[in-house]
Amino acid sequence: MELSHLQFAEAVAAKMKLEASWKVLPSLTGGATSTFDEAKDALAYAKEKNWKRIIIVTDEFHTGRAFYAFNKTFAESKVRVEVAGAVNEVFSINNWWKSDIGIMAYLGKTIKFPIYMLWDSEPEMVENN
């Protein structure tokens, strides 16, 4: 049985007896395929709800690039962006080289971060099918 991210978050909150409400942000493009897409979706939603601050929670290894992309996307808005790193169940900064997924994540980061520095959105040459 597979759970969606939303179902997993709801199950964890219920197990921990937390009163939390969960929503999936509406997508401007029919589904985000990059961190820039997620940032654009979040910005549209934040403006609609008149948010003053947004906290992005993502894997520890992804916090730098996520923070950079969201800051770039939110730069002209009055919404403050913060980021929090969550522990990854498969790998960490101490053992990422011991798993295929950790190696792919860290090597991919070295390729993706320069792209994020050079473009303001996902480059058209990159296809996320």
User: 1-44, pLDDT tens digit by residue?
Assistant: 677 878 888 888 899 998 888 878 888 888 888 888 899 999 99
The answer to whether 22 and 10 have CB atoms below 8 angstroms apart is: yes
Bridge-partner residues for 80, per DSSP? 53
Taking 70 as the threshold, does the pLDDT of residue 57 lie above it? yes
User: 56: which strand partners?
Assistant: 83
Provide mean pLDDT across the span 102-126.
73
Q: Which tops the pLDDT comparison, 117 or 80?
A: 80
SS3 content of the chain, % helix, strand, coil (to 5): 50, 10, 40
Q: Which residues of 99-121 are buried (b: 16+ CB within 10 A; e: fewer)?
A: eeebeebeeeeeebeeebeeeee
CB neighbour burial string for 37-64, b if at least 16 within 10 angstroms, e if fewer: bbbbbbbebbeeeeeeebebebbebbbe
The answer to whether 66 and 53 are in contact (CB under 8 A) is no
Q: Is the pLDDT of residue 127 over 60?
A: no
The predicted pLDDT at position 64 comes to 86
Q: Which pTM does this prediction carry? A: 0.72
Q: What is the pLDDT of residue 56?
A: 92
H or E, element range at 109: helix 100-118
Give the model's pLDDT for residue 122: 62
Question: How many CB atoms are located within 10 Å of the residue 68 CB?
Answer: 17
**% of residues, the chain, pLDDT over 70:** 91
Contact 89, 60 (CB under 8 A): no
